Amino acid sequence: MFARALPSFFTVGNLFLGIIAILFAFQGHWEYAAMMVIIGMLLDGLDGRVARMLNTQSEFGKELDSLSDVISFGVAPAVIMYVSAFKTTGIEGWIVTAIFPICGALRLARFNVNPGEPGYFIGLPITAAGGILATLALYNPYLQNVYISMAAMLFLSYLMISRIKYPAFKKQDVPKIVYILVPIFIIALAISAILYPKELPKVICVPLILYALYGIKKTVARKRRR
């Protein structure tokens, strides 16, 4: 019984962190909100792996995972960006904020119907897009124009519903020792977030952006070869 519920425990944990991220955003603690999204990414990466390892995959878990992802990596990052940058804008801020989770939901619906090619995702995963957007919000004070953030948000929205291929690291086998080390890593990450709340999410933003750009680069290279 416990084995069957364990993957859903990670999924619900991800959903819980997404809700906490929204609450942090409304309180003006964007750095902590971004960290909730980042930790949620780790939990999201665990639920499917644990389910496959324990052979407890189910349609219930699949649907719960998608619903949780819409909140944690669609709605939460959009709210973080809106509160931190778009709050003083007009209707355009509302529209851009709404477009991101909508594209994320479309991305998840397409994935549930057609997972894509073995070893690849079609379109930027909402997990990566949400992680980028949540951490990108911390760079808003350095930008001179809010419309730069809007353009970045719309571009991430497009990448999610695009046909660009991205490596599916989530589906690759990992040693079992990793499952033991992940909780330790999450605790270390939480402690680092408390000690360095503003710097750590900014650093994590870099590899996520590189992942998004990698898919574009590979797609352009394939088209040139053709």
CATH code for the domain of 108: 1.20.120.1760
Q: Residue 199 — very low, low, confident or very high, per pLDDT cuts 50/70/90?
A: low
Nearest to 207 by CA among 161, 150, 180, 169: 169
Q: pLDDT digits over 169-186, tens only?
A: 655 554 555 455 556 666
Tokens at 48, concatenated: 């499917």
Q: How far is CA 157 from the centre of its chain?
A: 12
Q: Residue 224 — very low, low, confident or very high, per pLDDT cuts 50/70/90?
A: confident
- Determine what percent of the chain is predicted with pLDDT higher than 90: 35
- Looking at per-residue confidence, does 201 or 79 come out higher? 79
The DSSP call for residue 168 is: -
Phi, psi of 87 (to 5 degrees): -60, -30
Between CA 132 and CA 128 the distance in angstroms is: 6
- Determine what percent of the chain is predicted with pLDDT higher than 70: 78
Residue 19's domain comprises 2-225
Q: What is the pLDDT of residue 168?
A: 81
Kind plus residue range of the DSSP H or E element containing 121: strand 120-122
Q: What is the pLDDT of residue 16?
A: 96
| Confidence (pTM) | 0.83
Q: Which residue intervals of 29-81 are DSSP H helices?
A: 30-54, 59-69, 76-81
Q: What is the pLDDT of residue 73?
A: 96
Q: pLDDT digits over 7-63, tens only?
A: 778 889 999 999 999 999 999 888 889 889 988 988 888 777 776 776 777 778 788
Between CA 82 and CA 25 the distance in angstroms is: 9
The DSSP call for residue 169 is: G
Q: What is the pLDDT of residue 133?
A: 94
Phi, psi of 167 (to 5 degrees): -60, 135
Number of domains the chain contains: 1
Give the best-scoring range by mean pLDDT among 10-14, 39-43, 101-105, 142-146: 101-105
Q: What is the pLDDT of residue 44?
A: 86
- Looking at per-residue confidence, does 75 or 136 come out higher? 75
CB 174 within 8 A of CB 42: no
CB 30 within 8 A of CB 83: yes
- The CA R_g of the chain, rounded to the nearest whole Å, is 17
The yes-or-no verdict on residue 165 having pLDDT over 60 is: yes
- Looking at per-residue confidence, does 26 or 118 come out higher? 26
**Average pLDDT, whole number, for the chain?**
82
